[in-house]
Chain A
Amino acid sequence: MQKVNLCDACSKEKGVQDPTGFALADLLLGIGAAEEIEKGASTEKCPVCGFSQADFKKTGRLGCSACYITFAEGLSTLLKAMHKGTEHVGKFPQRAHRAMELNHRMRTLTENLQKAVAEENYETAASLRDQIKQLESEIAI
C-alpha cells in the first residue's frame, strides 16, 4: 500500500477525478467539511482577530481562541465528526475553575433573591443583596 498526498493542482494533473474531494478542510476534517464551512456566512469575521471562514478553509487552522465562539455553529458539526465526544472532560485551569464556582454561586444567590422578593420576604432579600454585592467585588478581582 502506498499513500500519496496530493494538493488540488496535482490531483487534477494526475487525473484524480474529484478535485473538490481534496480540499484541505476535507482532508483534515473529513469529507464534506469544506462544504459545511461554505454553507455558513462566509463574510463573517472574528471580532477579535479578523479571521474569516474563508481563511479557515484555506489553512485548516483558526485565527484565535475567540474564533471558536464566532464560528461556533459551523465548528460544532466538525468537532462532532472529529472527536470522541463533544464536551471536554479533562484537566482545566484553576482560574477557570474559580470563575466557574463564583458564577455558580452568583446564579444561586440571584435565584434565591428573586424568590425572596416574590414571597415578600424582605429581610432575607436584603441579606441576599449584601451577599451578591460581596460576591461581585470578589469576581471583579
Chain B
Amino acid sequence: MKFSNVMATAGEWLRGEGPHHQIVISSRVRLARNLRNRAFPGWAKKAERTSILDLIRPRVEELTEMQDSFSESLQELSALERQVLVERHLISREHAAKGVGSAVVMNRRQTLSIMINEEDHLRMQSIRSGLQLKQAFKLVDKIDSALESKLEFAYDQRLGYLTACPTNVGTGMRASAMLHLPGLVLSELINQVIQAVSKIGLAVRGLYGEGTEAMGNLFQISNQTTLGEKEDEIINRLSKVIETIIEKEHDARQVLLQKKSNTLWDQIGRAYGVLTYAHAMASKEALNLLSIIKLGVDLDAFPEDRRLPIDELFIDIQPAHLQKSSQQKLNAEERDHLRAQIIRERLKLFPKPDISKMARESGNGSTAGPSNNE
C-alpha cells in the first residue's frame, strides 16, 4: 500500500461508531517490546539499529493482520508525510524525528500501527473508535503473541518486559483514551477533574501526548504505571475512571443547558459565525471552534448527519494534512488562509444552529427558548 492510499482514507477509528463515541474520540493501547541483549534504539549505533530493523521488519510484515499493509522506512518518508502520520496518531512525534534504522508498518484499516526502533525496538499500537480499551488490547495482545514466537523478547521473571525507559517496565503497556470535554472546560471544572485523575496514578495530557497543549477541548487520559498490576486490571481501572469522567461531562452539559443556556447558545452561534465567514484561521482557534460545533451536534443544535464532516475537519485542518492535500509547502499565513477556506467550503451546506431542539434537551419545556435566566 502506498502513502497516497493512506492519505486518501481516514482511519476506521474516526468513523465514530464505538461506545460513548460522542465523548470518547478514540481508545489506544500500545505495548513496548525489545529484543534480548541488543542495544535499545537510543543507544545502538546506526549499524546495529539497521540490523535490528532487518530482523524485526519481515516478521512484522508477514503477520496475517499486516496483509496489504503500509510499510516504510522513516528515511523514505518526507517530513510532511511523517507529520501527517503524527496528526493521525499513527506514529509518535519521537518516531517522526527518527531516520535510518527506523520504520513503521500499519494495517490497511489504520487500526494497528507498529513502530520499529522508536524508543524501544517495538512499539505496537491498536486504535479503536469510542471507549474500547479492552478490544484495542485484544488485538495488540494477539500481535504480541504472534511475534514472541519468532523474536526473543527481553523479559525478566521479576520485572517483566524490559524497556528503554524504566517507566514502561513490566507490562510495557500504555492504554489511553482521547476525550472531548467541552462541558467540563466551559463550566471550569476541568482542572478539578485533572487533579483528581492525577492523584490516582493516571496521566492527563494534551492532543499529541506528553508535554503538549490541550486544544479543541481534547484530553488524553492514560495509565502512568506499568509494574505490579496486570494488563486487564490497568485497563479496568482506567475504563472505570473514564466512565466517571463521561458522567461528569454529561452532568456539566446538563447544568450548562439549564443554568447557562444563553452562554452556550452564544458560544455555538459565535463558533458557527466565525467558522462560516473567517478568511484566516490558526489550528488552535479552528480546533477550539470546531469543538464547540461538535458539542452543538451532541446537543442537537445541528443534525446528527453533520457529525462526520466535523470530525473529519478535526484531522484535515491540521498543518501537515493541509499542506499534503494542497500538494505544496505553505507558510503559516498561507496555511491559515487555506484552513479557513476549507472550513468555509465544508460548512456551506451546514444548517444554522437550531436552538429549539437544544432547549427541549434542557428538560424544562415551559421555559424553552433563549429566555434570560440570569
Residues of A within 8 A of B (CB): 1, 5, 28-29, 48-49, 51, 55, 59-66, 68-69, 75, 78-79, 82-96, 100
Contact of B40 among A62, A90, A100 (CB under 8 A): A62
A-B contact count (CB 8 A): 122
Q: In this assembly, does B359 line the interface, its C-beta being within 8 Å of a C-beta of chain A?
A: no
A86/B228 in contact, CB under 8 A: yes
Please list 16 pairs of residues, one from A and one from B, whose beta carbons are closer than 8 Å in the complex, sorted by A's number. A48-B37, A49-B43, A61-B119, A62-B40, A62-B166, A75-B166, A82-B166, A82-B167, A83-B170, A83-B226, A83-B228, A86-B228, A87-B228, A88-B160, A88-B169, A89-B229
B166/A90 in contact, CB under 8 A: no
Q: How far is the CB of B278 from chain A (nearest CB, A)?
A: 27
Q: How far is the CB of B244 from chain A (nearest CB, A)?
A: 20
Q: In this assembly, does B8 line the interface, its C-beta being within 8 Å of a C-beta of chain A?
A: no
Using known A-B contacts A60-B165, A62-B166, A79-B159, determine if residue A89 contacts B40 with beta carbons closer than 8 Å. Answer: no
Q: How far is the CB of B159 from chain A (nearest CB, A)?
A: 6
Contact of A61 among B40, B144, B148, B161 (CB under 8 A): B40
A87/B158 in contact, CB under 8 A: yes
Q: Please name all residues of chain B whose beta carbon is closer than 8 Å to the beta carbon of A85 when the two chains form the complex.
A: 227-229
Contact of A91 among B40, B156, B191, B231 (CB under 8 A): B231
Q: Return the CB mask of B173-207 against A: 1 if under 8 Å, else 0.
A: 10000000000000000010000000001000000
A90/B170 in contact, CB under 8 A: yes
Using known A-B contacts A82-B225, A86-B228, determine if residue A95 contacts B162 with beta carbons closer than 8 Å. Answer: no
B21-43 contacts to A, CB under 8 A, are: 34-40, 42-43
Contact of A79 among B154, B171, B227 (CB under 8 A): B227
Q: Please name all residues of chain A whose beta carbon is closer than 8 Å to the beta carbon of B39 when the two chains form the complex.
A: 49, 51, 63-64
List 4 tightest A-B contacts by C-beta distance, closest first. Answer: A85-B228, A88-B160, A65-B154, A83-B227
Whole-angstrom CA separation of A39 from B174 in the bound complex: 31
Q: Please name all residues of chain B whose beta carbon is closer than 8 Å to the beta carbon of A60 when the two chains form the complex.
A: 165
Residues of B within 8 A of A (CB): 34-40, 42-43, 119, 141, 144-145, 148-149, 152-162, 164-167, 169-171, 173, 191, 201, 211, 225-231
Q: How far is the CB of A92 from chain B (nearest CB, A)?
A: 6
B225/A89 in contact, CB under 8 A: no
Using known A-B contacts A64-B39, A65-B36, A84-B201, determine if residue A96 contacts B165 with beta carbons closer than 8 Å. Answer: no
Q: Please name all residues of chain B whose beta carbon is closer than 8 Å to the beta carbon of A64 when the two chains form the complex.
A: 34, 37-40, 43, 154
Whole-angstrom CA separation of A68 from B164 in the bound complex: 10
Q: Please name all residues of chain B whose beta carbon is closer than 8 Å to the beta carbon of A88 when the two chains form the complex.
A: 156-161, 169-171, 227-228
Closest B residue to A5 by CB, please name it. Answer: B211
Using known A-B contacts A1-B191, A5-B211, A49-B39, determine if residue A84 contacts B166 with beta carbons closer than 8 Å. Answer: no
Q: B-side binding surface: helix, strand, loop or mixed?
A: loop
Q: Please name all residues of chain B whose beta carbon is closer than 8 Å to the beta carbon of A83 when the two chains form the complex.
A: 169-170, 225-228
Whole-angstrom CA separation of A37 from B43 in the bound complex: 19
Q: Please name all residues of chain A whose beta carbon is closer than 8 Å to the beta carbon of B148 when the two chains form the complex.
A: 93-95
A78/B228 in contact, CB under 8 A: no
Q: How far is the CB of B341 from chain A (nearest CB, A)?
A: 33
Contact of B164 among A61, A66, A93, A95 (CB under 8 A): A61
Q: Please name all residues of chain B whose beta carbon is closer than 8 Å to the beta carbon of A86 when the two chains form the complex.
A: 158, 227-228
Contact of B229 among A48, A84, A95, A100 (CB under 8 A): A84
Q: How far is the CB of A39 from chain B (nearest CB, A)?
A: 17
Closest A residue to B173 by CB, please name it. Answer: A90
Whole-angstrom CA separation of A9 from B125 in the bound complex: 36
Whole-angstrom CA separation of A131 from B296 in the bound complex: 73
Whole-angstrom CA separation of A2 from B226 in the bound complex: 28
Closest B residue to A84 by CB, please name it. Answer: B228
Whole-angstrom CA separation of A87 from B230 in the bound complex: 11
A68/B156 in contact, CB under 8 A: yes
Q: How far is the CB of A61 from chain B (nearest CB, A)?
A: 4
6 more A-B residue pairs beyond the given contacts A29-B166, A61-B164, A62-B40, with a C-beta to C-beta distance below 8 A: A59-B42, A62-B166, A65-B35, A65-B40, A93-B155, A94-B149
B40/A63 in contact, CB under 8 A: yes
Whole-angstrom CA separation of A90 from B157 in the bound complex: 10
Using known A-B contacts A63-B40, A86-B227, determine if residue A91 contacts B169 with beta carbons closer than 8 Å. Answer: no
Q: Please name all residues of chain B whose beta carbon is closer than 8 Å to the beta carbon of A92 when the two chains form the complex.
A: 155, 157, 160
